[in-house]
Structure 1
Amino acid sequence: MARDATKRLMLDLRKLQEDLPETICASPVDSDIFHWQAVILGPDNTEWEGGIFSLSLTFPQDYPNKPPVVKFLTRIFHPNVYQDGSICLDILQNEWSPVFDVHGILISIQVFYNSHIYIQSLLTDPNNKSPANNEAATLYQENRTEYIRRVKNIVSESISAAELTLNL
């Protein structure tokens, strides 16, 4: 099973190298094909704009039959992200299908515009029906101004953290 997963992850990596937006990058960590790190930039014209968000992706031995575990490594304030960075996203849980790949997962987390067609994403379209962060969900629904202020603080923190990492 691990051999099939390795083969599929190599295909996913090749697709990423050929067809990923400039605002997303991802690759295996230390040549471990089952553990990846990704960086996504906050989508333009949103409260997330300018943010630099790191994620980890851990793939099971039976990928793509089972989804990876995807977590934000950068602190984030979002209705569908738990305090530990775990993401509550349907395609990573009950709607997972082996047709999904790393490319599709990362696009679903960020926002993607293609020929003026908008595709729903985790960052810009929270699902308040099943919040992972009740405080963020409440603010998103009841006090959007405060929610946006908190997100912009997180964006600033993400930029500072990225600058610190680059200076090491």
Structure 2
Amino acid sequence: MADNLPRRIVKETQRLIADPVPGISATPYTDNLRYFGVAIEGPAETSYANGVFQLELFLPSEYPMSPPKVRFLTRIYHPNVDKLGRICLDILKDKWSPALQIRTVLLSIQALLSAPNPDDPLDNDVAAVWKNDESKALQLAKEWTRAHAIQGGGKGADDAIVID
């Protein structure tokens, strides 16, 4: 299957594996090398710290002329991520450039975890909380991270009682 892939995708994939980005892993699926399983560690000093967020990334046939398709599989409380895991990030839409790479996209998503932008939301309810009561939003983000993105969390964690 790798023989059918454009040279650029092969090169980017090799670099991601040989020189991984700190806090990010991206592994192509063996049955479809355009589809990646991604794990991004929540940045330290944020409400997402200690969480590991699972994402999927797909490179359409038009890549690199069109951006990759990326979405969160792990539930996350963030104004720029909707309930389906879609991400509001300019480089995944109108600011995409063929000069950008998978690595750049993943770093930008990790940066978005450090700096949520409630002024350009994908989830208006979350953005409203973020704008009106940021400390409450940060606490909710921390709770969701604990429930969905920390080892032992995930499926069934919605029912878990967390005692600090």
Asked if 2 retains the 8 angstrom alpha-carbon contact of 1:5 and 1:63, the reply is: no
Per the alignment, residue 67 of structure 2 pairs with 67
Specify the SS of the correspondent of 2:121: coil
Structure 2 residue matching 1:161: 3-state secondary structure: coil
* Structure 1 position 8, deviation (Å): 1.6
Note if contact 1:25-1:38 (Cα within 8 Å) is conserved in structure 2.
yes
The structural deviation recorded for 1:60 is 0.7
Runs of 4+ off more than 6 Å: none
User: Does the 8 A contact of 1:53 with 1:73 survive in 2?
Assistant: yes
Q: Indicate if the aligned counterparts of 1:6 and 1:33 stay in contact, CA closer than 8 A.
A: no
Range that drifts further, 78-87 or 129-138:
129-138
Cα distance in structure 1, aligned partners of 2:78 and 2:118: 10
Report the RMSD for the aligned CA atoms in angstroms: 2.0
C-alpha distance in structure 2 between counterparts of 1:15 and 1:129, whole Å: 34
Q: Distance in 1 between matches of 2:127 and 2:4?
A: 39
**2: CA distance between counterparts of 1:5 and 1:94?**
25
1:19 counterpart residue number? 19
Q: Is the 8 A contact 1:42 1:53 kept in 2?
A: yes
Please, which of 154, 157, 164 is the counterpart of residue 161 of structure 1? 154
* Letter matched to residue 51 of structure 2: G
**How many residues are treated as equivalent by the alignment?**
152
Residue of structure 2 in register with 1:117 after alignment: none
Structure 1 equivalent of residue 56 of structure 2: 56
The CA distance in 2 between the partners of 1:67 and 1:46, in whole Å, is 27
Alpha-carbon deviation of 1:4?
8.4
The equivalent residue for 2:131 is 141
Letter in 2 for 1:109: I
Distance 1:150 1:86 in 2: 19
Counterpart for residue 76 of structure 2:
76
TM-score after normalising by structure 1: 0.83
What's the TM-score, normalizing by structure 2? 0.85
Identity of aligned residues (%): 34
Unaligned 5+ segments in structure 1 are 111-120
